[in-house]
Chains A and B, each alone.
Chain A
């Protein structure tokens, strides 16, 4: 089954404790992207990747890092999480940057 898998689905952690949210897709898609969703603000793009070893900033990249060492994986790294990064995070993939995106089920992060 074609899918985008995020882990963990839920995480409560404390300020400053590094965390990684993994994202994996099984569709051999070139393009992957991370978004955060906050009430009243819709989805905002954090980082995206057009291909392996190619990443670009979205609208809200501050406080986040990403890497794309393999085509299927696109982890989101919070080196020093802060409470304002409490949010619902989505990973997505598509064949290229202009095609429909497939979304994961989301990761709900709470930073205390």
Chain B
């Protein structure tokens, strides 16, 4: 099964509300990254958080990492219709070849205007 698993699979909210997505993984990691994908397009990198970091911010995005629970969350505040996309977490694992990346199945976010 996938190293990273997102939850929920789908999320629908109104513009202005906050959206929270979660990612769980199974083995120890060096870092965890969040990506966004608009329908049918390539993924765009959002945030990278290292295993020794607990929280990072970028604009309206806030990412937390709890290595004891092997989980991460992505919070999008004050959502906009343009945030409608799929969001994926990706991990690389300690004790594997550098460069081996594992993506979760993604959370599909719909923001209604």
- A residues neighboring B (CB under 8 Å): 4, 31, 33, 35, 40-45, 48-50, 56, 58-59, 88, 90, 92, 96-106
Contact = CB atoms under 8 A, between A and B. Distances in A.
22 contacts: A33-B101, A42-B105, A43-B90, A43-B103, A45-B101, A45-B102, A45-B103, A48-B101, A50-B98, A56-B97, A59-B102, A90-B42, A90-B43, A97-B92, A97-B99, A97-B100, A98-B31, A99-B48, A101-B35, A101-B101, A103-B35, A105-B42
Given A42-B103, A42-B104, A45-B101, A98 B92 contact: yes
Interface residues of B, number: 25
Given A43-B88, A100-B33, A35 B45 contact: no
Contacts of A56: 97, 99-100
A50 B99 CA distance: 7
Given A90-B42, A90-B43, A42 B2 contact: yes
A33 B105 contact: no
Nearest to A51: B99
Main secondary structure on B side of the interface with A: strand
B100 A105 contact: no
A26 to B, nearest CB: 15
B30 interface: yes
Contact of A58 (B30, B31, B100): B100
A56 B98 CA distance: 10
Contacts of B78: none
Contacts of A98: 30-31, 92, 98
Interface in B4-41: 30-31, 33, 35, 40-41
Contacts of A33: 99, 101
A45 B103 CA distance: 8
B44 interface: yes
Contacts of B90: 43, 101
